[in-house]
Amino acid sequence: MESTKVFDKLKEECGVFGIYSKDGMDVSSSAYYALYALQHRGQESCGIAVNDGGVITKHRDLGLVPEVFTPEVLEKLGQGQMAIGHVRYGTTGNTNRSNAQPLVVRHIKGTMALAHNGNLTNAFELRERIELDGGIFHTTNDSEVIAYSITEQRLQTKSIEQAIEQAMYELKGAYSLVIMSPSKLIAVRDPEGFRPLCMGKKGESIVFASESCALDSIGAAFVRDVRPGEIVVVDEKGVRSIDTHCKDKGHMCVFEFVYFARPDSVIEGASVHVARQRAGAYLALEHPVQADVVIGVPDSGLDAALGFAKQSGIPYGVGFIKNRYVGRTFIQPTQGERENAVRIKLNALSATVAGKRVVLIDDSIVRGTTSARIVRLLREAGATEVHMRISSPPFINPCYFGTDIDSKDKLIACRMSEEEIKKEIGVDSLGYLSVESVKKIAEGANCNFCVGCFTGDYPVDPPKEVPKDKFETKIRK
Amino acid sequence: MESTKVFDKLKEECGVFGIYSKDGMDVSSSAYYALYALQHRGQESCGIAVNDGGVITKHRDLGLVPEVFTPEVLEKLGQGQMAIGHVRYGTTGNTNRSNAQPLVVRHIKGTMALAHNGNLTNAFELRERIELDGGIFHTTNDSEVIAYSITEQRLQTKSIEQAIEQAMYELKGAYSLVIMSPSKLIAVRDPEGFRPLCMGKKGESIVFASESCALDSIGAAFVRDVRPGEIVVVDEKGVRSIDTHCKDKGHMCVFEFVYFARPDSVIEGASVHVARQRAGAYLALEHPVQADVVIGVPDSGLDAALGFAKQSGIPYGVGFIKNRYVGRTFIQPTQGERENAVRIKLNALSATVAGKRVVLIDDSIVRGTTSARIVRLLREAGATEVHMRISSPPFINPCYFGTDIDSKDKLIACRMSEEEIKKEIGVDSLGYLSVESVKKIAEGANCNFCVGCFTGDYPVDPPKEVPKDKFETKIRK
Amino acid sequence: MESTKVFDKLKEECGVFGIYSKDGMDVSSSAYYALYALQHRGQESCGIAVNDGGVITKHRDLGLVPEVFTPEVLEKLGQGQMAIGHVRYGTTGNTNRSNAQPLVVRHIKGTMALAHNGNLTNAFELRERIELDGGIFHTTNDSEVIAYSITEQRLQTKSIEQAIEQAMYELKGAYSLVIMSPSKLIAVRDPEGFRPLCMGKKGESIVFASESCALDSIGAAFVRDVRPGEIVVVDEKGVRSIDTHCKDKGHMCVFEFVYFARPDSVIEGASVHVARQRAGAYLALEHPVQADVVIGVPDSGLDAALGFAKQSGIPYGVGFIKNRYVGRTFIQPTQGERENAVRIKLNALSATVAGKRVVLIDDSIVRGTTSARIVRLLREAGATEVHMRISSPPFINPCYFGTDIDSKDKLIACRMSEEEIKKEIGVDSLGYLSVESVKKIAEGANCNFCVGCFTGDYPVDPPKEVPKDKFETKIRK
Amino acid sequence: MESTKVFDKLKEECGVFGIYSKDGMDVSSSAYYALYALQHRGQESCGIAVNDGGVITKHRDLGLVPEVFTPEVLEKLGQGQMAIGHVRYGTTGNTNRSNAQPLVVRHIKGTMALAHNGNLTNAFELRERIELDGGIFHTTNDSEVIAYSITEQRLQTKSIEQAIEQAMYELKGAYSLVIMSPSKLIAVRDPEGFRPLCMGKKGESIVFASESCALDSIGAAFVRDVRPGEIVVVDEKGVRSIDTHCKDKGHMCVFEFVYFARPDSVIEGASVHVARQRAGAYLALEHPVQADVVIGVPDSGLDAALGFAKQSGIPYGVGFIKNRYVGRTFIQPTQGERENAVRIKLNALSATVAGKRVVLIDDSIVRGTTSARIVRLLREAGATEVHMRISSPPFINPCYFGTDIDSKDKLIACRMSEEEIKKEIGVDSLGYLSVESVKKIAEGANCNFCVGCFTGDYPVDPPKEVPKDKFETKIRK
C-alpha cells in the first residue's frame, strides 16, 4: 500500500481465501479477517462472495479490506455455508473496479465464483479461441479466461471438479484458485505451484488461504499445503483430492520468501521469517565488510538485517523510524519536494548511525531512486560509511507468473552494472545475494524454486505473443 | 426517486443516450446533462461510456447522476468522439452495481458498449441457448443476452450493423438500444417501438435519447423519432438507416404518455403535457361531478387536473405543497409513524380545500395506501367531499415490456372492485379513464398503443416460461 | 438550494424550531422532520441540540438536513425532553462550519442553547462593548452577541427568562429566537416581529417553529403566533408569557409572504398561498395586458400566475418543466455554456407557449440575468410576445433584518430604469406590483409590514456603523 | 490509533506545531507534514490555522491528518506567512468536534489562534471566575480557559506576549502552547516543562513542534528546546525570548521517554530511542533471568527488548508480526470472539519462540487483559517459559498533566500485587523497572522528571476540586 505511493517495490498480484463451514461458523467475518491478514498481497481492491444454500451474493470494490467491508456491507452480505475472498494489488492507472474479484458468473449448470492468484502465460491465445466461439469478455482478468475454460468443459463433464481437471490441460502458467460452486468449495494449484496455497481446519470447517498467516488470524489450524497440480474438493461428503496434474515438487516463486509473503507464514514447510534471516546470513558470508552496525530498511529488510548481524557479529541496530500512519490518502509532496517523500515516511536515527560505518540491508532494488534517498538520509544523520547488501540477486528478466515487473526500462539492474548502481545510489560498497544462495534460504522447504527473474530460465514457457507492456491494453479496438 | 421511498408508483426501466461528435463537442458532459434530463426514467444507477479513438472508458455506479458523476469522475472519463449513457431504476433489494449500464464487452471483433431500455420476452430461452454453447453471464440484465446475440452474429457478418440486423430476428420484446462500437454509434428500436427513442442534432453532432427533453437540455434540435424496427448507424461517412425490421406504426406503451415521460417531451409527434391535459379532459367528460375545486397530486397529477378543470369549468386550485428537499437519504418514519410519511412530503393547503367539495386527480393507483393517506390529508384540511379521478384505466395485468409491475398481489385493482377501492381509500366517488379514451390522449401521435396492462391483450406474445416473480431470481443455482 | 446555484434569488437567513415534550415524544426526530419542512429557509448548514435531563448534546454541520442527519447521527444525538433546531442559508465563500447553529454555550448558571433567525442592527456596538470587558468570540454570528448579552444579565437576575427580558433592552433589530436552558424552552420575538415564529401543540408537547408548515409536518396543531416582543416560557409548570416588550402590531417582513415562506404556511393569520394569488390578482389590475396564456416561473411564481389568470380571465398554463433532480452536487456548465445553466434546470413547454402572447409571472428580479435567460427560452419555444409581471415592487434599498441583499451593485433595479430593465431582459412589457398593493396581499394579517427594501423607510434605525459589505468580514485583524 | 481500538495503552493528550515563514515557505503543507509526524500524539482530531496577512483561516475535524486534510481542504486553507497545527487524542464517547484545536477566537485587540498540549490543574477555578464575569464557554478544553486568561490580560498590557507573561501567573499545570496573533508566532512552555516543545529553523523560517521528529519530516534543523517557563516570540523583527517564568530544570514527564514520544525524537538533549534501549538494559540488570530469546511487544517494546538483549547477552528475536493494515475502521470481533482481537493484530512467530524460554518486554501494563492475551499467543506458539519485563515502574497514581489515566479502577497495578498480576497474565516471572532507574534512562537529558504516576509525588499541586472521573463532564447543568 504505502509502497505503491512512496516507495518502489515489486508487487504481488493477489491473495485468495475460501471457507466451507459445516458447523455454523461465521463465513463472512472469517473471510473478512483472513483477507485482512492477506492485505499485504494486494491493496487495490478486494471482494467476498458468500454462498447461502446455493445463492451467491458478492461485494467487491476498490480499497483496503476495512474500507470496503464496513459493518453495514458485511451484514448485507449475510451468512452462508461457504465464502471465498480475494485481495488484489494496484498498478497505476489501471485501478478498475470491473477487475475486482471474486468473479461470479452463471453458466449452464449454475453459478460459479472464482478467486485467482497468478498469471496465465497463454491467456491471449485462449481468449482468442473463446472469442471466435462467440464469447464476450467483461474484464481484462485472466480469471475470466479460466472461468470460460472451466465452463466449456462443464458442458461435457459430470461435475465441476472434472471440468476443472480437464480445463487444466489447457491452462498454462501460474494459478492458485479457490472456486465455489453452489454446493462445493474447490482449491486448485497449478502443476508448478508458483504461488502458495494452503489448507487449514477449524472445528468442522475447512479453509484455504494463500498464506498460513490467514489461518492463524481466524484461529484455524494449519493442515497442509495444497500440492502443485492438486485439486482439493470440499462438499458435504467431506474432503477429497484429484492429483492427475500433480508431478514433482514444482517451482515456487522464490520471491515469496524474499519479500511477498508475511514473515509469520510458513510455506512449503519453511518459515518465511527464518528464510529472510538466512538470506541475511548468506549475504554476510558472501559480502563481508568491516562495519559498526547493521540496519535494515523497514519493514522488509529487518529480518535479513538481523540474520546478517548474527552471522557477522556486527551489532544489530534500529536505523530508521517509519511513520505508522502513512496511508493511502497521504498527499504527495509536489515535484520540487520529491526528496521529502521518503523523509515523511522514514526518519534515520542519528543515535544509531552517527559516526558509524553502517551495513544497510534491503530485500531488492527496483528503480534505485528510493535506495538513493534512503542512503542520503543515513549520510545526513551522520553515517560515515554505507555498505548496502541486498538479500536477493538482481532482477534482469520479466516475470510472467503473477508479479508486476512490467518493463525492463524501469529495472535499474537491466540498465546499469553493479559498479554503476553503487555510484547511482551513493554507497561505499554494494553486494547482492547470489542465485545459488537464494535457492537455499527456505530451509527445509519441500519444493524447487522459480528464479526466472534472476536467470531468465523459466519452468514454464513464457507467452508466445507478448504485448509490448507485458499486460495487454485495457480494451482492444 | 422520491416516489420509490415515500410513494408507491410504477417505475420505468431505463433511459438511454448516445452522441457522435464530429466537431469536438464535449461528449462526456453532454452525456452528463442529458442523463440529468432523463433522471426521472431511472434513479438507481447510471453510467457513461466514452469512446476516444476506439478506446472505451466507462464509469457506472449506484446513485443519481450528480452523485455518481462528480467533477473528478467526469474528468477521469475524459473526452472522445462518442459517448453513450444510461440511467436505471431501482427495485427494492436488487440494487446491484453489477447490473448498472452501459454494458461494455470485448468480443472477437473488438469492443462494444450497449445501453438498453426495455425488456425481452424471450431472454430466458436465449440465455439457455447461449449457456449451452459455453457462454457465461455476469449480470441478470437482458442486455447481456442482447450483447451475446449480436456477438454471435458478428462472427458471420461483415459489420456490427449487419450483426444487429440478424440478431433482431431472435430478439423478442421491448428494446430501445444505443450501441457504440470502436467507430460507430448505432440506435435501434424494436419493431413494436414499445419504448421511445429519438434523434437530434447539434452542429455536426448526432445525438440519440429516450426523450426529447434530453435534446433540449443540451441545446440539440429534435430531428425525428427512430422508427419502430429501425437501425440508425452513425459513423464518419454520415447517418444511414436499415429498415428491414420496420413495419407499421408499432405499439408504443401508453403509460409513457400517462406517467413515465417528462411532460416537456414530445413523443411520436405528440406533446406529453398536452396528452395529460387531454386525459384530464376526457375524465371530466366520462366522470362528471359537482364540486368546488379541482386539484392534482403533485407532480404527476397536475397536468390532468388542469385539463379536468378546463373541461369541467370547475376552478383549478393548488391543493398540496410538496417538500422540494425530500431526497434519497431521507430517514423514513418508524413503523408507528408511517402515516407521517406522506405528511412529510406533502402538505394539504387548507386555504384551497377547507369547506370545499374537491376533485382529486392522480395518474394511477398502485397499492392504494398512498391514495388513502392523501385523501386523509385533504379531509383533515377541511375538504367536505373528495372525488377521486384517475387519468388511466385500472392495472389488472402484468407488463412484460420494461416496467416494474411484478406481481398481481400488490395491485389494488386486481384485488378489489371499484366500489371496494372507493371505500378503501375513503373517497366519495371514484372514476377511472376508459381504455378507449386513454388511447386517444396522445393527440396526433404517429403510433398505436400497447394497453396490455389494462386489457391483457399484448402486441407481442408474453414469455412462455414465466418465473414466479416475473423477474428471474438474482442467481440461479 | 437550487436557487443559490443556478438562479439568483434573495435568501432568507434562517429557520428555527423548538420542542418541549412532557409525554415522551421523540424530540430528535421531531426536530429532524420539522427542519426538513423548514429547509427552504436555509440550505447551507443545520443543527439540532437535544436536552436530556439538563445535559445538552448537539450536532451541526454544513449540508441539507437529510445529508447532515443520517440515521447514525440521529441515534447518537439520542433522546431527551427538549430539542431545538436550526437551518441556515449559504452565501458564497462564507460557508463556515463554525457559524452553524444552534449555538451551545456554558455560562455561570449552566448551559444555554440558542437558535436565531434575524439580524441585529447594533451587533457591532454590542460586540465591541463585550470585548472591552474581556469577552472572546468564536463565531461571526449575531447569535453569539445575543448569548453574551443574556449571560451578562443572568448574573444579576433570578432566571433565564428575566435575563432575556433585560437583554432585550439592548438588542436592536430582528430576532426570532428559540432558547433552551437545562430546564426551560423559551421562544422570543423582537418587538417589531420582523421574522415569523409560531407555537403549536401535539399531545402534551409544546413546539415552536418559524413557520406553521413545520407544525403540520409533525402532526402538531397550530396554537398561535408568538407576539412581537413576547417571551414565551415553557417548563414543567407549563406555558407562560412575558409581554414587557410587546407593543402594537409590529412590522413583519412582507417578503415572507412574497417569496420566503412556504405557501402552505399561515403567518399572522394569513395564508401565504392566498397572499401570493392576491399579489397576482393585484398585478392583473395594475398592469393589464392582452394575452393568450399566463404562466409562472417555477416554483415561486406559480401561485401569483394563478391569481393573475383568475383575475384577468386569461387562461393559466404550465409554461416550464423544472428538473426535479437538480441538486447541490450538480456540476455547473463551463463559462462558455452559462446560457445552458437555466436550460438544464428549466425547459419551456412549446405546447403551451408556441404562437402565444405570454404573461410571465415571477416574484422578483434580482440581477436580471436569470430573467433574461428565461425569456429567451420562451422566445425559442415560440412565444410571440412576453409580458413580464413581478409580484413585488422593485428592490432599491438594503435590508438589515435578516436577508442577504448585500450590495446595491447587484440589484438591477438600482442600476436601471424600468424601461432599461425591460430591454435588458427582452420583454415586450414589464410591470411591478405597487408598494400600496404589496401591503394588502396578506389578507386578514394581524400585522403591519416592513417594506424598507422598497421604500428605504425602516421601522427600526439601520446600523450606525455600516461595514462596506454590510456583513462584517470573517475575522477582523 | 490502533492502540485505542485493540490494545489498552496510555494516551498522550496532544501534539502542537507552529511555523513563521519569512521566505515564502509553504506554511500549510509544512503544517500538514509536521502534524503527520506528530500523529502518534493524537489520533482523534486535528486542525490547522493559517495566517495570511492577519486574516486567520482554520480547518479542524475528527480524523487522522490525511483523512481530514484532503488536497481540496489544504488548497482551500490557502497560503500565508504563519500557521499553527494540532493533533488530539481520543477518549471513548467524548469524540466531539467542538473540542478540536487550534482554537481561534476574536478579542478586543484582534484575533488569536492557540494550540495546547497539556492539562491545567486549576482550570476549574479559573473557569468559574471567568463565568462570574460573564464569560461563556463553547468547549470543555482547558485551552479556552487559557485564551480567556490571556485576553483579560491583553486589556491591560501593550502586547500579546506581555499578556501571556501576566496570564502565566495564574495558569497552573502543564501547557506547551503555540499561539498565533495577527503578526506574531509565540511558543510557551509551563515552568515545569511537563510536555516537550522544541524550536527549529529552515532557511528563514522558524518552526516549533512538540517533538524534533516533526522538524526532521519537513527538513528543518533542530535549534533548541523551548525552556521550561520560557516565552519565545517570533515576528518581523526576529526571535526574542521572555524568561520571567524560567527557573530550574523543571520536571519533564518521564513517560515521554518510556512510551509517548517517537523514538527518533531528541528531547532535552536525550535520544528517545537510546533511552528505551537503556530502560531495557537497566531491566536486564534489575531482573535477570535465564532464557533463550528476548522479544518485544510491537512497536513500543522493541527498543527496550534490544537493550535487554544486548545487556543480558540473550539473543534478540522477532517474536511477533504486526498487521500493518489494522486501522481505524477495522471491525471489532464480537464479544464472543474478543480473544481474537489480539490475534488479528499480532501473530506470534513460532520459528522464534517454539521450544524456547522467552523474555517478553513491554513498556507498561495498563489493564492487563492485553498482556494476558499476548502471553497466551506465545504459549500457543510453543514458548516453554514466558518472563515478562516492563520498562517502567507500575502506575499507581493519577496523572493530572496531560495523559488519559482517568481512574484507578482500570489500572491493574492499583488492584493487584505483582504476584497477583503475574498469575493474572500467566507469566513465569514478572519484573518492573524501578523508579530510580526510570529517572536515569534519558542519558544526558537536561531536565528533572515527573514520576508522579509511579510515586504520587507531583512537582505541582494536584487540583483541589477533583471531579469524580478526573475530567469534567461534558456540559454542566
**Which residues are within 8 A (CB) of A329 and not within 5 positions of it... i.e. 6 or more apart?**
D66, D67, D70
Burial grade of A391 (CB within 10 A; 0-12, 13-18, 19 or more): buried
pLDDT for B243-297, tens place per residue?
999 988 899 999 999 999 999 999 999 999 999 999 999 999 999 999 999 999 9
CA distances for D334 relative to A71, A218, C315, D338, angstroms: 11, 13, 67, 6
* Chain A residue with the nearest C-alpha to that of B93: A76
Round to whole Å and give the CA distance between C255 and C441: 11
Nearest by Cα to C68 from C35, C37, C90: C35
Cell of A442: 527456505
How many angstroms from the chain centroid is the CA of residue C352? Answer: 33
Minimal-distance CA residue of chain A relative to D269: A351
In the prediction, which pLDDT does C476 show? 31
Residues A12-29 as b/e (b if ≥16 CB within 10 A, e otherwise) read bbbbbbbbbbeeebbbbb
From chain A, the residues in CB contact with B108 under 8 A are 128, 131-132, 134
CATH topology of domain A270-455: Rossmann fold (3.40.50)
Identify the chains in contact with B, defined as 3+ C-beta pairs within 8 A.
Answer: A, C
Reported as a single tens digit per residue, the pLDDT across D99-126 is 789 999 999 899 999 999 999 999 999 9
With contact defined as beta carbons under 8 Å apart, do C328 and C351 qualify? Answer: no
For residue B416, give how far its alpha carbon lies from the nearest alpha carbon of chain C (Å): 31
In which element (H, E) is residue C343 found? helix C338-345
Q: Name the minimum distance, in Å, from the CA of B112 to any CA of chain C.
A: 28
Tell which of C48, C264, C299, C318 to mutate to test the B interface (max B CBs under 10 Å).
Answer: C264
pLDDT at res. A465: 60
* CB contact (8 A) between residue D36 and residue A344: yes
Mean pLDDT for D158-175 is: 97
Grid cell locating A467: 504485448
Q: Which residues of chain C are within 8 Å of residue D155 when distances are taken between CB atoms?
A: 132, 134
Percent of chain B predicted with pLDDT > 70: 89
Name the closest residue on chain C to residue B63, using Cα atoms: C325
pTM of the model: 0.90
CB contact under 8 A, B303 and C318: yes
pLDDT at B3: 33
Average the pLDDT over C144-165 and give the result: 96
Sheet of D385-390, strand order: D293-296, D357-362, D385-390, D429-432
Give tens-digit pLDDT for C385-394: 999 999 999 9
Looking only at the bridges linking them, the beta strands covering C293-296 and C357-362 are parallel
Widest CA span in chain C: 72
* Confidence label for C472 from pLDDT (cuts 50, 70 and 90): very low
Residue C60 distance to chain B (closest CA, Å): 17
Point out the least confidently predicted range of C333-342, C345-354, D370-379, D426-435: C333-342
Question: Which residues from D are below 8 Å from A378, CB to CB?
Answer: none
Residues 6+ apart with CB under 8 A from A129: none
Q: Is residue B327 very low, low, confident or very high in pLDDT (cuts 50, 70, 90)?
A: low
Output the pLDDT for position C2: 32
Q: Tell me how close the Cα of D161 comes to any Cα of chain C, in angstroms.
A: 17
Smallest Cβ distance to A111: which of B56, B57, B477?
Answer: B477
pLDDT at position B218 is 94
Report chain A's mean pLDDT, rounded to a whole number.
90
D453 labelled catalytic: no
Distance CA A8, CA B329 (A): 42
Contacts of A111 in chain B (CB under 8 A): 475-477
Residue range(s) of every CATH 3.40.50.2020 domain in chain B:
270-455
Interface contact flag, B135 A107, Cβ < 8 Å: yes
Q: Sorting pLDDT into bands at 50, 70 and 90, what band is B239?
A: very high
| Residues forming CATH 3.60.20.10 domain(s) in chain D | 2-249
d(CA D126, CA C378): 67
The dihedrals phi and psi of B284, each to the nearest 5 degrees, come to -60, -35
Instruction: Note whether D147 contacts C138, CB cutoff 8 Å.
Output: no
Q: Which of C57, C111, C476 sits opposite D476 (nearest CB)?
A: C111
Of C303, C325, C329, the CB nearest to B39: C325
- DSSP-based three-state secondary structure for C275: helix
Amino acid at C352: T
- Architecture of the A2-250 domain: 4-Layer Sandwich (3.60)
A246 exposed, middle or buried (CB, 10 Å; 0-12, 13-18, 19+)?
middle
Look at C475 and D107 and tell me if their CB atoms are within 8 Å.
no
How high is the pLDDT of residue C10?
A: 67
Catalytic pick from A14, A46, A253, A453?
A: A14
Under 8 Å between Cβ of D113 and D63: no
Of D106, D131, D476, the CB nearest to C136: D106
Question: Which positions ≥6 away from A357 have C-beta within 8 Å?
Answer: A290, A291, A292, A293, A383, A384, A385, A387
Helices (H) and strands (E) in chain B, counts: 18, 23
Class of domain D2-249: alpha beta
User: Across chain B, what does the average pLDDT equal?
Assistant: 90
- Give whole-number Cα distances, D216 to A280, C100, D37, D67, D198, in Å: 30, 38, 9, 22, 12
Give yes or no for a contact between C311 and C285, defined as CB atoms under 8 angstroms apart: yes
Quickly tell me which residue has 527464518 as its cell.
A274
Instruction: Nearest chain D residue to C61 by CA: give it.
Output: D97
Whether B327 sits inside 8 A of C64 (CB atoms) is yes
Query: What is the mean pLDDT of the segment spanning D29-46?
Result: 94
C477 and D132 within 8 Å at the Cβ level: the answer is: no
DSSP A281: H
Determine phi and psi for C202, rounding to 5 degrees: -140, 115
Distance in angstroms (rounded) separating the CA atoms of residues B29 and B23: 15
Whether C220 and C198 have beta carbons less than 8 Å apart is answered as no
C-alpha cell at A258: 524474499
What chain B residue is nearest to A477 in terms of C-alpha separation?
Answer: B110
What are the backbone dihedrals phi and psi of residue A94, each rounded to the nearest 5 degrees, phi first? -115, 30
H-helix or E-strand containing D472? Answer: none
Among the listed residues B393, B395, B390, B323, the one whose alpha carbon sits nearest the alpha carbon of residue B359:
B390
Cα separation, B253 vs B192, in Å, equals 10
Query: In angstroms, rounded to a whole number, what is the distance separating the alpha carbons of residues B340 and B355?
Result: 23
As a whole number of angstroms, the distance between CA C345 and CA B36 comes to 9
3 state SS of C180: strand
Measure CB to CB from residue C316 to each of B71, B316, B326 and give the nearest one: B316
Residue in chain A closest to B52 (alpha carbons) equals A477
D330, A66: Cβ pair inside 8 Å?
Answer: yes
Q: How far apart are CA C137 and CA D151, in angstroms?
A: 11
Name the active-site residue from D14, D399, D447, D453.
D14
CATH 2.40.50.100 fits C272-449, yes or no: no
**Which residues does chain A have with pLDDT short of 70?**
1-12, 90-96, 326-340, 405-407, 465-477
Task: Give the integer Cα–Cα distance in Å for A264 and D323.
Answer: 10
pLDDT digits (tens, 9 = 90+) for B328-368: 555 666 655 666 678 888 999 999 999 999 999 999 998 89
Put simply, the answer to whether B475 touches A55 (Cβ < 8 Å) is yes
CB contact under 8 A, B351 and C273: yes
pLDDT grade for B469, boundaries at 50, 70 and 90:
very low
Catalytic residue list of C: 14
Sign of torsion over alpha carbons C358, C359, C362, C364: positive
DSSP B425-464: HT-SEEEEPPHHHHTTSSTT-SSEEE-HHHHS--SSPPPS
A·D CB contacts under 8 A: 155
Q: Are strands D385-390 and D357-362 parallel, antiparallel or unpaired?
A: parallel
- Structure confidence at residue B470 (pLDDT): 40
Chain B interface, best mutation among A82, A95, A475, by max B CB count within 10 A: A475
**CA dist list (Å): A468 to A93, A367, A471:** 17, 20, 8
Beta bridge partners of B180: B113, B185
- Residues whose CB is less than 8 angstroms from the CB of residue B29 and which lie 6 or more positions away in sequence, other chains included: B74, C331, C333
Q: Which of A216, A315, A348 sits opposite D343 (nearest CB)?
A: A216
Residue A426 CA, distance from chain mean position: 30
* ipTM for this prediction: 0.90
Is 70 exceeded by the pLDDT of residue B472? Answer: no
Q: What integer pLDDT is reported at residue D127 of this predicted model?
A: 94
Chain A residue at shortest CA distance from B109: A477
**Gap between the Cα atoms of B41 and B115, Å rounded:** 13
Mean pLDDT score across all residues of chain C: 90
Report the distance separating Cα A415 and Cα A420, nearest Å: 9
E strands in A258-297: 266-267, 270-271, 293-296
Going by the DSSP 8-state scheme, the letter that residue C425 receives in this structure is H
Residue with the three cell numbers 447461502: A52
| Cβ pair C60, C46 in contact under 8 A | yes
Average pLDDT over residues C350-356: 97
Statement: residue C96 has pLDDT above 80:
no
Q: What is the pLDDT of residues C410-451, one digit of tens each?
A: 788 888 999 999 999 999 999 999 999 999 999 999 999 999
Peptide bond into A190 cis (omega under 30): no
Q: How far is D303 from chain C (nearest CA, A)?
A: 41
Q: State whether A475 and B55 contact (CB < 8 Å).
A: yes
Q: Distance of CA A372 to CAs A388, A393, C449, Å? A: 11, 18, 76
- Residues in Cβ contact with B384 at an 8 Å cutoff, skipping those fewer than 6 apart: B355, B356, B357
List every span in chain B annotated with CATH 3.60.20.10.
2-250
Query: Do the beta carbons of residue B74 and residue B28 sit within 8 Å?
Result: yes
Residue B220 DSSP label = P
Could you identify the residue written with the cell 461485494?
A59
Using DSSP, state whether D29 is helix, strand or coil.
Answer: helix
The full DSSP string for D228-286 is TT-EEEEETTEEEEE-TT--SS-EEETHIIIIIS-TT-EETTEEHHHHHHHHHHHHHHH
Which residues fall within 8 angstroms of residue D265, CB to CB, at 6 or more apart? Answer: D196, D211, D212, D213, D272
Residue B347 with chain C: CB contacts under 8 Å: 37, 213, 216-217, 262, 264
Structural contact between residues D392 and D403, judged by C-beta atoms closer than 8 angstroms: no
